[in-house]
Amino acid sequence: MAKRRMHIFYSGHVQGVGFRYTTRSVAEGFEVTGFVKNLPDGRVELVAEGEEAELDSFRRAIREAGLAHFIRDEEVYWEEPTGEFKDFRIAF
Q: Which of 4, 20, 43, 59 is catalytic?
A: 20
Which member of 38, 59, 60, 89 is catalytic? 38
Neighbour count for residue 74 (Cβ, 10 Å): 17
Q: How far apart are CA 84 and CA 66, in angstroms?
A: 29
Phi-psi region of 69 (alpha: psi -120 to 50; beta: other; left: phi over 0): alpha
20 belongs to the catalytic site: yes
Note if 43 is an active site residue. no
Residues with active-site annotation: 20, 38
